Amino acid sequence: MKLIILDRDGVINFESDHFIKSPAEWKPIPGSLEAIAQLTQAGYRVVVATNQSGIDRGLFDMDTLNTIHDKMHQAVKAVGGRIDAIFYCPHSAESNCACRKPKPGMFERIAACFNTDLGEVPVVGDSLRDLQAAEAVGARPVLVLSGRGKYTLEKGENPEGTLVFDDLAAVAGHLLQS
């Protein structure tokens, strides 16, 4: 099985310093939906793994998160793609839970649900915590410069072997040429 794991904010949709709190605030990065469609059509299972501490902070509720994710599903479907599953952590960093990236709990759940080893599975993110979670489970960290990716790259703390691309469309192009 070909599997790819994507962070949401900064990879699929534009990042916000104030959280994405409503479907109206969710806006796809140009080319990201088409990239997911290309991956889907090439046989990849596309999974989203996202920290959503806005729930724990009381900025939005589960119904709102589900509505945001439904909008994302529909937008991807409209261009011929599919997101096979969305995993999220609703906790704030202060909760010290096992599922919040950079901890590997969310990725361990993905591996269990898809009955697969995540070794060498590309994990695409724009923050150090995405890359650290990928490294913790033996997946392949991939940094995109969209979202907070440029800042992450400048800090220079990325795991060894991290691949770097401008955006999700460039990642898809690379994977589909390989």
Give the sheet arrangement for strand 2-6, strand by strand.
Answer: 85-89, 44-51, 2-6, 122-125, 140-144, 163-165
19 lies in which domain range? 2-177
Q: Would you please indicate which residues are annotated as catalytic (active-site) residues?
A: 7, 9
Query: What total number of domains does the chain contain?
Result: 1
CA nearest neighbour of 8 among 62, 53, 63: 53
Task: Output the pTM of the full model.
Answer: 0.97
What is the phi/psi pair of residue 89, to 5°? -110, 120
- Cα–Cα–Cα angle for 28, 33, 34, nearest 5°? 140
The tokens for 83 are 């997101």
Identify the pLDDT of residue 3.
Answer: 98
Helix intervals (H) in the chain: 32-41, 62-78, 105-113, 128-136, 149-155, 168-177
Q: pLDDT above 70 covers what percent of the chain? A: 100
Identify the CATH number of the domain in which residue 86 sits: 3.40.50.1000
Question: Which residue matches tokens 């993110």?
Answer: 125
Check whether 164 has a pLDDT greater than 90.
Answer: yes
Residue 17 binned pLDDT confidence (cut-offs 50, 70, 90): confident
Binned at pLDDT 50, 70 and 90, residue 178 comes out as confident
**Mean residue pLDDT across the chain:** 96
Q: Please provide residue 124's backbone torsions phi and psi, each rounded to the nearest 5 degrees.
A: -105, 120
What tokens appear for 86 in the block?
């969305």
Q: Which pLDDT value is given to residue 54?
A: 94
